[in-house]
Amino acid sequence: MTISVGDKIPEVTLIKATAEGPQPVKSSDYFAGKRVALFSVPGAFTPTCSAKHLPGFVEKASDLKAKGVDEIVGTAVNDAFVMGAWNKAAGSDDITMLADGNAEFVEAIGLTMDGSGFGLGKRGQRFSMVINDGVVEQLNVEEPGDFKVSSADHMLGQL
């Protein structure tokens, strides 16, 4: 079953990419007590993700924070080293990368996709959400191949 607005984020372990190396974080702890703009991509360094998705959140970070977002989080079914390198190459200090290397998060929220036709295996769909104190406030899931509703611009219009 796919997560919905009003649902609590399920308990999983994600890996935060930091300068000191990968650090495990529990979702219930991480998303508690703050409002988070989260975006998920099928893969770091992939074309749409690198050319549009991440840059949009980098560009609109201050606007999102001005609308009450405490933190901006990017996630993908990649390891923390890849997520950290992607943020270093194309992101900013305004973006926190949480790796979902084993797809536990996207499985728990029902938003996996099969990317095996492109050699990607099991991945997360392209989506964004606003999480307020661990509860889904907004959820924007893209149709396969699209990049519209999960963008930073679309999210800004919702806040």
Any idea which of 22-31, 50-59, 105-114, 116-125 has the lowest mean pLDDT? 116-125
**What's the pLDDT at 44?**
81
Indicate if 29 belongs to the active site. Answer: no
Q: Which CATH number fits domain 13-158: 3.40.30.10, 3.90.260.10, 3.90.1300.10, 2.40.50.100?
A: 3.40.30.10
Decide: helix, strand or coil at residue 5: coil
- Catalytic residue chosen out of the listed positions 14, 17, 49, 73: 49
Which percentage of the chain shows pLDDT scores above 90? Answer: 69
Residue type, 32: A
Q: Identity (one letter) of the amino acid at 44? A: A
**CA 48/CA 136 separation, integer angstroms:** 25
CB atoms within 10 A of CB 127: 21
- Cβ neighbours around 78 below 10 Å, total: 25
- What residue segments make up the domains of the chain, in order of their start? 13-158
Three-class DSSP category at 142? coil
Q: Is the pLDDT confidence value at 55 over 90?
A: no
